[in-house]
Structure 1
Amino acid sequence: MLRLQRVEPAAALHADRATYPDRLIFHTPEWLAFVAESRHAEPVLATVRDGSATVGHFTGLLTRHYGLRVLGSPMAGWTTSYLGFNLLPGVSRREALRALPGFAFGELGCAHLEVRDRGATEADVAGLGLRWDAAPTAVIDLSPDEDALFGAMASACRRNVRKAAKSGVIIEEADPDPVFADEFYDQLRDVFAKQNLVPTYSVERVRSLIRHLGPAGRITLLRARDADGRCIATAVLPWYHRTMYFWGGASYREHQHLRPNEALIWHALRAAKARGVTEFDFVGGNSYKAKYGTTEVAVPWARQSRWPLVAHLRNAAQRGFALKQRATARLTLTHP
């Protein structure tokens, strides 16, 4: 039977975690520092024990909602795709997930937990008392050569990449600095305004991400310029080990006819290959991503509450956030 034991962060601990083949950028100290800062959360690291042997690690963060302690691994709204476990080959993810509620509700004293583990399947979470959603993501295997990757795109997508080039759109890699964050966020506001919404996070979230990941060389920032040199689109792409992630992309509506978004993604795929990355994760399963030749992967997002009332509070908070966002958008768009 597996059990979790909380441990203090240390250089040796992080070094051991970095040897696991299922490690992700979201398990790194830099990413945890970003989430801790932007969400005012406390990182929680634990070893997964099988008797006296360490067979894995767990990563999460503690936060408070309605005065109650919550363990997120991650929580929705943290702009963090997955956390969960790092496990040695052959160690059961289902058994690790089975041990998690006892750790969260017992040792940590939490009222609610959520976990999205990239290596977990629906079979791993079914029947454990966890409520879960499939939460699919769209990925691209970068093992094929560039010609094969380009050929796997929909024909309209390939035409748009070529149109961007013919229109003079240039893609450049930007320095990790606040200037880029401001450009990206201004374009993001325009994207949300198209739907009469406002962004779900502030520009400081973007600055924090760049500030923490930039010095470690774990983020690629792309800027699309038109023929006159104006920045018309941007993309934020954290990467580590075998995967690059599409954390965010934005563009001005008035320049979308130049197709800078398709040009950004095509550049990102080639940049990922050049860095030795073997997978591109779009972080979500929206249908528009299929044109890039993606494969859909189901990654369960599971949750459990210690008391039924907490589950109702969690759902009410989600509905309240959506209403608040729309109300804020109406005020912002009416009185900019």
Structure 2
Amino acid sequence: MLKLHRVEPSADLWADRATYEDRLIFHTREWIRFVAECQRAEPLLAVVTDRGRPVGHFTGLLARRFGMRILGSPMAGWTTSYVGFNLRPDVSRRAALEALMPFAFGEAGAAHLEIRDRGLAEKDLGGLGLRWDAAPTAVIDLNPTEDQLFGAMASACRRNIRKAAKSGVVIEDAGDDPAFADEFYDQLRDVFAKQNLVPTYSVDRVRSLIRHLAPAGNLLLLRARDADGRSIATAVLPWYHRTMYFWGGASYRPFQHLRPNEALIWHALRWAKERGVTEFDFVGGNAYKAKYGTTEVPVPWARRSRSPLVAHLRDAAKQGFALKQRTVARLTRQSVAIPG
């Protein structure tokens, strides 16, 4: 029978976690520090044991919302895709999830739990008092040759990549440019404005991500410049172990006809492949990503609350955030329109 035991971070603990084949960047010390800082949350690390023998790890963060403790692994809005477990290949994820329930609502003292684990499937969730949403992601297998990867894209996507090159669009590694976060965020505001929305997070989150991940060498920051040298698009791409992730991309609308976004993705795919990365994860299943030759992978987002009231508060908060985002966008447009 599996059990979870909370542990304190240590050099030996991080070293052991790095031996698991299912490890993701979202399980690393750097990423957890990033989320903890942005969400004012407390990291919660646990060892999974089977009759006293360590067989895995659980990663989560405790935060306080509405005066209650929530355990996110992760929570929606944390700009973190999957967390959950690291487990030995012979250990059942369903059994680990079952063991998480008494731990979350007992030792961890949580009133609400959310989990999205890359290895969990909907068949693992039944009978545990969980509610869940389908939350697929789009991935690209980077094992084929570059020619095969390019050929798997939609013809229009290939044309756009060629057009970007012919138009003089150049992709560069922004490296440690201190202006990159503000540059990306300014372009991101333009992306959201197209949908009459505002970004769901502030520029401080971008700065925090760069500050925590860049020193570890697990972050690729790309910039697209037009023929006149202007920055017209950017991309933020964390990577670790076998996977690169599309954390964020942005571009200015007046230059989108030059197709810098497709050029950025194509550059990132080749960059990752050259470094032995075998998967590119778009972190979401939006339809526009299919043009890159993606495969959809189901990754359910599950949740459970101590009481129906807590579940209602969670759903109300999600709806309230969406309304607030639309309202802020409307007020922003109105303020810009007022003659000064």
Structure 1 length as normaliser, TM-score?
0.99
* Residues 1-336 of structure 1 mapped to structure 2, 5 A cutoff: 1-336=1-336
CA distance in 2, matches of 1:293, 1:3: 41
1:100-134 CA deviation, whole Å, 9 max, x = no partner? 11101000111000000011111111222111112
Report the secondary structure of 1:178's partner residue. coil
The ranges of structure 1 where at least 4 consecutive aligned residues each deviate by more than 6 angstroms after the TM superposition are none
How far did 1:137 drift?
Answer: 0.1
1:180-233 CA deviation, whole Å, 9 max, x = no partner? 001100000000001111000000000000000000000000000000000000
Report the secondary structure of 1:215's partner residue. helix
CA distance in 1, matches of 2:69, 2:216: 31
CA distance in 1, matches of 2:116, 2:176: 28
1:31-57 CA deviation, whole Å, 9 max, x = no partner? 000000011000000000101100000
CA distance in 1, matches of 2:242, 2:314: 34
CA distance in 2, matches of 1:253, 1:222: 18
Are the equivalent residues in 2 in contact too, given 1:138–1:283 (CA < 8 A)?
yes
Are the equivalent residues in 2 in contact too, given 1:177–1:210 (CA < 8 A)?
no
CA distance in 2, matches of 1:115, 1:274: 33
Report the secondary structure of 1:214's partner residue. helix
CA distance in 2, matches of 1:126, 1:166: 53
What letter is aligned with 1:259? R
CA distance in 2, matches of 1:8, 1:78: 22
Are the equivalent residues in 2 in contact too, given 1:70–1:112 (CA < 8 A)?
yes
1:45-100 CA deviation, whole Å, 9 max, x = no partner? 00001011000000000001100000000000000001000000110000000111
CA distance in 2, matches of 1:188, 1:297: 26
How far did 1:178 drift?
Answer: 3.2
Report the secondary structure of 1:199's partner residue. coil
Are the equivalent residues in 2 in contact too, given 1:125–1:300 (CA < 8 A)?
no
CA distance in 2, matches of 1:156, 1:150: 11
Q: How many residues align?
A: 336
Report the secondary structure of 2:215's partner residue. coil
**What is the RMSD computed on CA atoms of the aligned residues?**
0.7
CA distance in 2, matches of 1:44, 1:36: 10
Report the secondary structure of 2:3's partner residue. strand
How far did 1:177 drift?
Answer: 4.0
Report the secondary structure of 2:32's partner residue. helix
Structure 2 residue runs of 5 or longer lacking an equivalent are none
What letter is aligned with 2:284? G
CA distance in 2, matches of 1:266, 1:323: 35
CA distance in 1, matches of 2:137, 2:144: 20
CA distance in 1, matches of 2:177, 2:61: 26
What letter is aligned with 2:58? F
Report the secondary structure of 2:106's partner residue. helix
Structure 1 residue runs of 5 or longer lacking an equivalent are none
Are the equivalent residues in 2 in contact too, given 1:177–1:211 (CA < 8 A)?
no
Sequence identity (%):
79
